[in-house]
Amino acid sequence: MPFRRSKGLVKWIFENQHKMQSVRRCSSLARYKEMEDSAASEHDVSGPKTRPEITPEISFKHDDLQVRLAAPYQLQTKPDAVELGFGKYFTDHMLKIHYSKHLGGWQKPEITPFENLSLHPAAKALHYAIQLFEGMKAYRGVDDKIRLFRPELNMERMNLAAQRSGLPMFDGQELIRCITRLIQIDQEWVPHSETSTLYVRPTLIGTEPTFGIMEPESALLFVILSPVSAYYQTRGDGAVSIFADPAVVRAFPGGVGNRKVGSNYGPTIEATARAAKLGHQQVLWLFGPDRELTEVGAMNIFMVYINDQGERQLSTPPLNGLILPGVTRRSILELASQWEDLVVKEEVITMDRLEDLNDRGRLLELFGAGTAVVVTPIANVGYLHRNIRVPTTSQPRPVYRRLRDTLLAIQYGHVDHPYAKVIA
């Protein structure tokens, strides 16, 4: 490989990752929100150049919501908590909002009994993956009230994904109001338990039934609800094992790795199945020659270690266009940055660095975070025919557990916090 080519390679990655660099330079957590804002706007190579501008006039409106309740014979028996699993049962109602350019845009939102969708077999969502989704949870609090956790962040991310996918945008506050009404109607489905919740899945799909590979002129936004318990089936301590395979790549500069679109998931099934056969729960997606950790598909990744100054440090890879900007990720960074006894940083983490820290006994914890998984400790990383055992669950007062307890305390109303929004 000639020298010219290697120089070109470096230049190319430089160009494609200039934002990765600029995000790295912002190490002060006080600037975290600003960073995420900027990562989502002008710096983001793979995203839109500006925040999506929502014109409220053209969004659907909660005030137009029409409700058709299920008949008594349509109501389903609620499963036992032990049977829940993740996303196997659904509630009695759903929300649907049609979009039709032909009919002037967004139509009136409607809540109907839960039912199958009737889709034209040429719908673009089924051929060209013109589809995106979100994941939120409704929590039954200690006070019996139901709360959502920072739903406005999900709405913002959903609109960014819509813009990236040629799907119509909308006013996030209006969708939150519609979802609130849906949850109120199905509120008996919100588990009376702190080990299970009601998972909320907003989905937006292109329904135009033509074969052109272009923006669809019709779409359907629908929201379904599923009572869920733990995402992973694991050993007693809840710790998972992940598999880091340098040969598989989840996302690429110029792609959609930072948007919650279906296309990020289908191509991962095969690699995940291979990892499962080796006994791991998930794939740890690496990127680049230095094998930088990016994310785990169903969760963002965090590391706790003793840094070169001898301090305890919490780190996660910076948002660089390849990583989903998780709501739990962001909340963890914001919460932990207020703790006196922990340094908190977004920084590049390579597999070499991870192994080196582990070999020196300075790697304390590795864990994942996301709406579905909450905070999940990682005890093992399969990598290049060996296993890197991480002492996450043998720490005396682990950071991951403190974070999980803090998040759950907010979500289940043990403490009052602006992140939690009471909806019923």
* Residue found by looking up tokens 């659904």 in the block: 90
Question: Who contacts 269 (Cβ-Cβ below 8 Å, separation ≥6)?
Answer: none
Nearest residue to 369 via CA among 149, 47, 83, 91: 149
10 is an interface residue for its own copies by CB under 8 A: yes
Q: Residue 218, Cβ neighbours under 10 Å: how many?
A: 21
The window from 98-106, 111-119, 306-314, 337-345 that contacts its own copies (CB under 8 A) reads 111-119
270 is an interface residue for its own copies by CB under 8 A: yes
The window from 5-13, 76-84, 383-391, 416-424 that contacts its own copies (CB under 8 A) reads 5-13
Nearest residue to 365 via CA among 383, 334, 342: 342
Nearer residue to its own copies within complex by CB, 126 or 306: 126
The window from 28-36, 53-61, 248-256, 380-388 that contacts its own copies (CB under 8 A) reads 248-256
Q: Which of 159, 218, 226, 358 binds its own copies (CB under 8 A)?
A: 226
Nearer residue to its own copies within complex by CB, 232 or 419: 232
Q: Residue 200, Cβ neighbours under 10 Å: how many?
A: 22
279 is an interface residue for its own copies by CB under 8 A: no
Mark residues 152-181: x for contact with its own copies by CB under 8 A, - for none. Answer: -----------xxxx---------------
18 is an interface residue for its own copies by CB under 8 A: no
Residue 314 C-beta: closest distance to its own copies, Å: 25
Decide: residue 104, CB within 10 A, 0-12 exposed, 13-18 middle, 19+ buried.
exposed
383 is an interface residue for its own copies by CB under 8 A: no
Distance of alpha carbon 395 from its chain centroid, rounded?
27
384 is an interface residue for its own copies by CB under 8 A: no
203 is an interface residue for its own copies by CB under 8 A: yes
Please provide residue 327's backbone torsions phi and psi, each rounded to the nearest 5 degrees: -70, -40
Q: Residue 271, Cβ neighbours under 10 Å: how many?
A: 19
Q: Which of 20, 155, 198, 256 binds its own copies (CB under 8 A)?
A: 256
Confirm if 368 and 299 have CB atoms less than 8 A apart: yes
Separation CA 198–CA 187 (nearest Å): 9
The window from 8-16, 74-82, 181-189, 309-317 that contacts its own copies (CB under 8 A) reads 8-16
The window from 10-18, 102-110, 137-145, 150-158 that contacts its own copies (CB under 8 A) reads 10-18
Q: Integer distance in angstroms from the first to the last C-alpha of the chain?
A: 64
**Alpha carbon separation from 244 to 261, 272, 347, 355, 386 (Å, rounded):** 22, 10, 19, 12, 10
The window from 100-108, 283-291, 302-310, 376-384 that contacts its own copies (CB under 8 A) reads 283-291
Mark residues 114-133: x for contact with its own copies by CB under 8 A, - for none. Answer: x-xxxxxxx--xxxxxxx-x
Residue 242: which H helix or E strand, with range?
A: strand 240-244
Q: Which of 31, 33, 88, 389 binds its own copies (CB under 8 A)?
A: 88
* Residue found by looking up tokens 């299970």 in the block: 196
Residues in binding contact with its own copies, number by CB under 8 A: 81
